[in-house]
Amino acid sequence: EQCIYHNLSAAKLQSFLCSDAVKMLPSHAEAFASFWDSALEGKFVESLRGKQFGPRYVESTRWNLHMNLAKEDAFQTKDCYATIQFDIRNTHPNTANRIKNENENETVAVEFSHEDLSEFFTKINLIQRQLDGLT
């Protein structure tokens, strides 16, 4: 990612990999540099330049609860699940002078059983407690 961002040449990459900071074997560094040189000539680097490597942000959520009944007259629940849709944005909402892009947003739908949703909620609460502990 950093090599693409900085448009690093194969020779500079090899030099960096052999430096004291990384301490890679020269033969391994040469192999990486050789691949990087061929990647610069091909479409590999161009395909990566169009990808988003940074974090993505939840812009909004929607949810639905679904129940399948075993019998219509008895109302016995056979299967229960929730669907949560996350509207994801590739850039932070507070970014100044952000250019509108139609491909910027993505919707991700996730289906949870009762057990899955409970486990997800427990993990989200753990993350929240850890974030609260940092502030």
pLDDT interval class at 72 (50, 70, 90) = low
- What's the pLDDT at 128? 94
C-alpha closest to that of 7 among 46, 51, 65: 46
Task: Please write the tens of the pLDDT for every residue from 108-128.
Answer: 999 999 899 999 999 999 999
117: left (phi over 0), alpha (psi -120 to 50) or beta: alpha
pLDDT interval class at 95 (50, 70, 90) = low
